[in-house]
């Protein structure tokens, strides 16, 4: 097993070197930083699916939440907003939200005063409606006011690493709510419900222009490490500055990744990890041993989502732009799933390997496809069939096909992944 | 009266059209779930693929100079449905059957179907790019404007020819499906297998045949839904990928495994989406004359802003999963 893993990682290293040699260091270095962030996200899914057997298909939502969080924390403050009536109006909207939530919660307890059955149902629907109208009546003018006067709320000007942490916290909060709602569902229902919720999150973030600037996008988002421009201003050459600054970011990302991996590897080996695997493999048996299955699953769902939030925040800080419309289920949910399936669910080294490998396949399939198309096009022109039209557009779409091909092949021939989970049996 | 006609144009017709498309897609998903017990995500690609097959056939017809009284898209529909059914049988043979034979869990099949989604979508985009296509490049899209002046309305009732045909075709196919499921031997076998696969097998039902028939029906209906969606709006590679979740919502709301539930769910989701974004002021505007000044209707009075239209389906989906996970018609139990 160890030998196989080492061979695979050595192969991956050679692949990185080849990519670096063919496509140049600037391209490769930024892909590596992204791969590190995706590895972190894949770890999050590995906790949820590999350890806990939870079918989370709403990864995109958590990545967006992380991205929005780091934007909010680290983007410079917008004084125009803070000096206007905006904060006051938002405060009122928050109050309306709280009142609405209180009404809904109060109605949930209506059986205590003897209202049950059908009447409680009617009352619940009514309470939700009242809460919704109350909230909308406050937030709509506030949103319109902020959008027309100061554009959006702006950031807080904090350190990006704080933003990453906040991304984790915010993702945890949302995961708690989603988990509370959905975790009672069985696997495929859970998948569909989480996809649905992630689409709701996307629609909200995309359309709440006052909070996230929506489709107008926010940039530039600061880096936690010195930017290439800063290093260049310090009198460094362009190539050197680029490599050094990206190296710095990569180092930070790898440190975060290493800490996370150390922690979750320990958790996997410990009693907590054993309990999780017991729940995953047979939740009825685990429940009969006195484990609180629902609470433990909620716990693992939240932990995994924290990593997704942090990873999503890292990606946004690295590319320096938060563009809600660039988030797609294919690029941000299914891609992560392919990483885990190919790498090996339940094994963190497998998740790391899968994340880096699939990310590299994803990014090189476009130039590779272009090269193939250009060769074929040249050949077909020579024999008089004419060139292939729109090579750029077509080769960009090839990566979706390659991703689908990889996952179907993996499911067919290596269903447990390339570096599968090692099940230790004592005694 | 003008307001009511406006309401019919904006809500009744578009809700019905959307509901028909959702229903046709959801029937396929629900049948596959009932027989094979997995959520088939690649259904969206069957829809898009079917629409592109129909588009190619229609283009071929146009280039041969065949002129038809109804839109060519509807003329070629039966042929396209046959081809899509063959395609779906091929996908099952190539990707799902080996996994089933290995005894893979439904979850694995679900992931495989996502893989198929990505592959088919990649192929479609490879051949057709990312642009949009229209069935009505070579022929006009006929629009019926029914004058409703005799009802005292200043606005005509507007409905396009594809929409009329679409509603009729859906009606016919749903009735045909009903008779197939309740009267024919094979349809009864399908229902028996959806109810209890093991019991169906020991009582001598040819389960392999039932699986094939399921794929044929699902593929044909998916092609129909995709083509009709493309006829109503435009044809693009992510045509159905964007609406697969509302379709799943329709199937789940109706109860997974229940063909009639899927129809009801599809119409429900279709109408819910159009009603939620409808501006109610347009309908109740005459009331402004009676209402006191402090209670005048605001210029827009929609339940949710238009940009959240698709979100309505997800909210219904989540609420259904929470309140009644088996759907309105008791669906397949877990």
Mean pLDDT of A255-268: 93
pLDDT of amino acid B333: 44
Q: Residue A100 pLDDT more than 90?
A: yes
Per residue in B90-107, pLDDT (tens digit) is 999 999 999 998 888 888
**Whether residue A88 has a cis bond before it, omega within 30° of 0:** no
Per residue in B208-237, pLDDT (tens digit) is 999 999 999 999 999 999 999 998 888 888
For chain B positions 243-282, those within 8 Å of chain A (CB to CB) are: 245, 248-249, 252
CATH class of A2-78+152-413: mainly alpha
Helix axes A25-45, A335-343, angle to 10 degrees: 80
* Structural domain contains residue B12: yes
Per residue in B153-190, pLDDT (tens digit) is 777 888 888 888 989 999 999 999 999 988 999 999 98
Q: For residue A395, what is the nearest residue in chain B, using CA coordinates?
A: B126
Tell me the Ramachandran region of residue B300: left when phi exceeds 0, alpha when psi lies from -120 to 50, beta otherwise. beta
Mean pLDDT of A376-390: 79
Contact A334/B114, CB-based, under 8 Å?
A: yes
**Chain A positions in Cβ-Cβ contact with residue B243 (cut-off 8 Å):** none
Per residue in A23-56, pLDDT (tens digit) is 888 888 899 999 999 999 999 999 999 988 888 9
Indicate the pLDDT class of residue B330, thresholds 50, 70 and 90: low
Helix axes B259-277, B161-183, angle to 10 degrees: 150
* Structural domain contains residue B91: yes
CB atoms within 10 A of CB A425: 4
Q: Residue A218 pLDDT more than 70?
A: yes
Helix (H) or strand (E) holding B143: strand B143-146
Mean pLDDT of B269-276: 91
pLDDT of amino acid B334: 38
pLDDT of amino acid B285: 76
Q: Which spans in chain B are helix H?
A: 2-7, 14-36, 43-63, 72-75, 77-91, 97-101, 106-128, 161-183, 185-195, 197-202, 207-232, 244-254, 259-277, 281-284, 309-323
* Structural domain contains residue B13: yes
Assigned token pair, A311: 């990873």
Tell me the Ramachandran region of residue B155: left when phi exceeds 0, alpha when psi lies from -120 to 50, beta otherwise. beta
Report domain extents, chain A: 2-78+152-413, 79-151
B311 touches chain A (CB under 8 A): yes
Please state the φ and ψ torsions of residue A322, each to the nearest 5 degrees.
-110, 110
Q: Which of A208-217, B275-284, B325-334 is least confident?
A: B325-334
Q: Residue A94 pLDDT more than 50?
A: yes
C-alpha pair distances (Å), A182 with each of A56, A121, A329, B12: 10, 20, 19, 33
Contact B245/A341, CB-based, under 8 Å?
A: no
B333 touches chain A (CB under 8 A): no
Of the candidates B114, B129, B318, the beta carbon closest to that of A196 is on B318
Query: What share of chain B in percent tops pLDDT 70?
Result: 99
A278 touches chain B (CB under 8 A): no
Mean pLDDT of B302-322: 83
Alpha carbons B215 and B90: distance in angstroms, whole number: 10
**Chain B positions in Cβ-Cβ contact with residue A189 (cut-off 8 Å):** 252, 321, 325
* Structural domain contains residue B55: yes
Of the candidates A187, A191, A401, the beta carbon closest to that of B122 is on A401
Of residues A386 and B71, more confidently modeled:
B71
Per residue in A181-195, pLDDT (tens digit) is 888 777 778 888 898
Helix axes B77-91, B43-63, angle to 10 degrees: 140
Question: What Rg value do the Cα atoms of chain B yield, rounded?
Answer: 21
Q: Residue A91 pLDDT more than 50?
A: yes
Alpha carbons A152 and A81: distance in angstroms, whole number: 7
pLDDT of amino acid B298: 74
Print the domain residue range for B84.
Answer: 2-251
- Best mean pLDDT range from A381-385, B145-149, B205-209: B205-209
Query: What share of chain A in percent tops pLDDT 70?
Result: 99
Measured distance between the N- and C-terminal CA atoms of chain A, rounded to whole angstroms: 20
Assigned token pair, B39: 């959520």
Alpha carbons B45 and B64: distance in angstroms, whole number: 28
Nearest alpha-carbon partner for B304 in B291, B287, B316: B316
* CATH classification at residue B123: 1.10.3470
Q: DSSP per residue over B284-330, as a string?
A: HGGGGGTS-GGGPPPS---SS-GGGHHHHHHHHHHHHHHH-TTTTTT
Alpha carbons A279 and A292: distance in angstroms, whole number: 9
Nearest alpha-carbon partner for A71 in A312, A318, A316, A324: A316
If you average pLDDT over every residue of chain A, what do you get? 88
Of residues B332 and A137, more confidently modeled:
A137
Q: Residue B292 pLDDT more than 80?
A: no
pTM, entire model: 0.90
Question: Is the distance from CB of A53 to CB of A280 less than 8 angstroms?
Answer: yes
Q: For residue B97, what is the nearest residue in chain A, using CA coordinates?
A: A412
* Structural domain contains residue B320: no
Indicate the pLDDT class of residue A98, thresholds 50, 70 and 90: very high
Per residue in B1-44, pLDDT (tens digit) is 777 888 888 888 989 999 999 999 999 999 999 888 888 999 99
Q: Residue A174 pLDDT more than 90?
A: yes
Q: For residue B95, what is the nearest residue in chain A, using CA coordinates?
A: A408
A119 touches chain B (CB under 8 A): no
Alpha carbons B196 and B260: distance in angstroms, whole number: 18
Per residue in A307-329, pLDDT (tens digit) is 999 999 999 999 999 999 889 88
pLDDT of amino acid B331: 55
Q: Residue A73 pLDDT more than 60?
A: yes
A362 touches chain B (CB under 8 A): no
The whole-angstrom distance between residue A84's C-alpha and the CA centroid of its chain comes to 34
Beta bridge pairs of residue B157:
B146
Say if residue B121 is exposed, middle or buried (CB neighbours under 10 Å; 0-12, 13-18, 19+): buried
Indicate the pLDDT class of residue A108, thresholds 50, 70 and 90: confident
Alpha carbons B260 and B269: distance in angstroms, whole number: 14
Q: How many domains does chain B have?
A: 1
Chain A nearest CA to B154, separation (Å): 33
Per residue in A321-371, pLDDT (tens digit) is 999 988 988 888 999 999 999 998 888 999 999 999 999 999 998 888 888
The DSSP 8-state label assigned to residue A75 in this structure reads S
pLDDT of amino acid B247: 93
Mean pLDDT of B61-78: 83
User: B188-197: long-range contacts at Cβ-Cβ below 8 A with a sequence spacing of 24 or more?
Assistant: B190/B31, B190/B34, B190/B35, B190/B214, B193/B34, B193/B35, B194/B31, B194/B34, B194/B35, B194/B257, B194/B332, B197/B35, B197/B37
Question: Is the distance from CB of A54 to CB of A183 less than 8 angstroms?
Answer: yes
Contact A404/B116, CB-based, under 8 Å?
A: yes
Spell out the residues 6+ positions from residue A278 whose beta carbon is closer than 8 angstroms to its own.
A285, A286, A289, A291
C-alpha pair distances (Å), B110 with each of A418, B33, B105, B145, B242: 20, 11, 9, 45, 18
ipTM above 0.90, yes or no: no
A and B: number of Cβ contacts within 8 A: 122
If you average pLDDT over every residue of chain B, what do you get? 86
Alpha carbons B295 and B288: distance in angstroms, whole number: 8
Helix (H) or strand (E) holding A391: helix A391-413
């Amino acid at each position: 097993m160890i030998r196989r893993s080492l061979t695979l990682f050595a192969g991956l290293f050679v692949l990185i070197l080849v990519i670096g040699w063919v496509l140049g260091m600037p391209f490769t270095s930024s892909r590596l930083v992204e791969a590190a962030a995706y590895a972190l996200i894949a770890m999050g899914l590995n906790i949820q699916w590999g350890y806990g057997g939870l079918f989370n298909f709403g990864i995109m939502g958590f990545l967006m939440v992380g991205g929005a969080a780091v934007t909010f924390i680290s983007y410079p403050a917008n004084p125009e907003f803070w000096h206007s009536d905006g904060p006051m109006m938002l405060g009122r909207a928050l109050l309306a939200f709280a009142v609405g939530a209180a009404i809904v919660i109060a109605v949930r307890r209506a059986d205590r005063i003897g209202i049950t059955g059908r009447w409680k149902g009617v009352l619940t629907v009514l309470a939700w409606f009242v809460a919704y109208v109350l909230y909308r009546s406050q937030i709509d003018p506030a949103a319109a006011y902020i959008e027309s006067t100061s554009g959006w709320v702006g950031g807080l000007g904090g350190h990006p690493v704080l933003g990453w942490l906040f991304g984790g916290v915010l993702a945890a909060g949302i995961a708690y709510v989603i988990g509370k709602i959905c975790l009672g569902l069985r696997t495929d229902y859970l998948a569909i419900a989480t996809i649905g919720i992630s689409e709701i999150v996307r629609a909200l973030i995309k359309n709440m222009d006052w909070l996230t600037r929506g489709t107008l996008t926010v940039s530039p988002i600061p880096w936690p490490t010195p930017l290439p421009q800063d290093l260049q201003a310090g009198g460094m050459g362009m190539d050197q500055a680029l490599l050094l600054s990206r190296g710095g970011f990569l180092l930070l990302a790898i440190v975060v990744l290493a800490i996370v991996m150390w922690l979750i590897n320990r958790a996997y080996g410990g009693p907590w990890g054993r309990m999780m695997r017991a729940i995953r493999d047979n939740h009825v048996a685990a429940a009969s041993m006195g484990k609180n299955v629902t609470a433990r699953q909620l716990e693992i769902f939240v932990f995994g989502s924290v990593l997704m939030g942090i990873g999503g925040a890292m990606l946004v800080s690295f590319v320096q732009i938060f563009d809600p419309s660039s988030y797609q289920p294919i690029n941000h949910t299914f891609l992560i799933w392919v990483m885990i399936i190919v790498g090996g669910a339940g094994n963190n080294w497998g998740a790391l390997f899968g994340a880096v490998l699939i990310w590299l396949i994803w990014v090189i399939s476009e130039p590779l496809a272009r090269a193939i198309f250009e060769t074929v096009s040249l050949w077909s022109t020579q024999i008089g069939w004419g060139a292939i039209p729109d090579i750029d557009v077509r080769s960009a779409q090839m990566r979706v096909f390659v991703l689908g091909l990889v996952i179907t092949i993996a499911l067919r021939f290596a269903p447990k992944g390339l570096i599968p989970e090692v099940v230790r049996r004592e005694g | 009266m003008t307001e009511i006609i406006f309401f019919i144009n904006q809500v009744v017709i578009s809700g019905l059209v959307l509901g028909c498309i959702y229903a046709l897609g959801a029937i396929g998903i629900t049948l596959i779930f009932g027989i094979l017990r997995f959520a088939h995500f690649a259904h969206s690609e069957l829809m898009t693929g079917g629409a592109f097959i129909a588009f190619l056939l229609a283009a071929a017809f146009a280039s041969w100079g065949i002129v038809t009284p109804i839109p060519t898209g509807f003329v070629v529909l039966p042929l396209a449905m046959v081809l899509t059914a063959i395609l779906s049988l091929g996908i099952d043979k190539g990707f799902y059957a080996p996994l089933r034979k290995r005894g893979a869990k439904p979850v694995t099949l679900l992931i495989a179907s996502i893989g198929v989604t990505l592959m088919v979508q990649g192929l479609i985009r490879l051949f057709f790019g990312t642009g949009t296509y229209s069935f009505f490049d070579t022929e006009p899209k006929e629009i019926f404007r029914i004058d409703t002046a005799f009802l005292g309305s200043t606005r005509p009732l507007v409905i396009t020819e594809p929409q009329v045909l679409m509603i009729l075709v859906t009606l016919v196919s749903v009735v045909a499906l009903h008779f197939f499921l309740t009267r024919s031997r094979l349809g009864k076998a399908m229902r028996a297998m959806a109810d209890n696969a093991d019991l169906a097998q020991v009582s001598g039902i040819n389960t392999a045949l039932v699986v094939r028939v399921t794929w044929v029906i699902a593929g044909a209906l998916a092609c129909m839904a995709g083509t009709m969606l493309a006829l109503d709006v435009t044809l693009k590679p992510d045509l159905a990928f964007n609406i697969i979740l509302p379709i799943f919502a329709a199937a789940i709301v109706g109860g997974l495994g229940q063909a009639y539930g899927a129809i009801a769910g599809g119409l429900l989701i279709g109408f819910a989406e159009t009603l939620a974004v409808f501006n109610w002021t347009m309908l109740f505007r005459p009331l402004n004359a009676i209402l006191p000044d402090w209670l005048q209707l605001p210029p827009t009075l929609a339940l949710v802003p238009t940009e959240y239209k698709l979100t309505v389906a997800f909210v219904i989906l989540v609420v259904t999963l929470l309140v009644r996970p088996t759907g309105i018609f008791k669906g397949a139990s877990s």
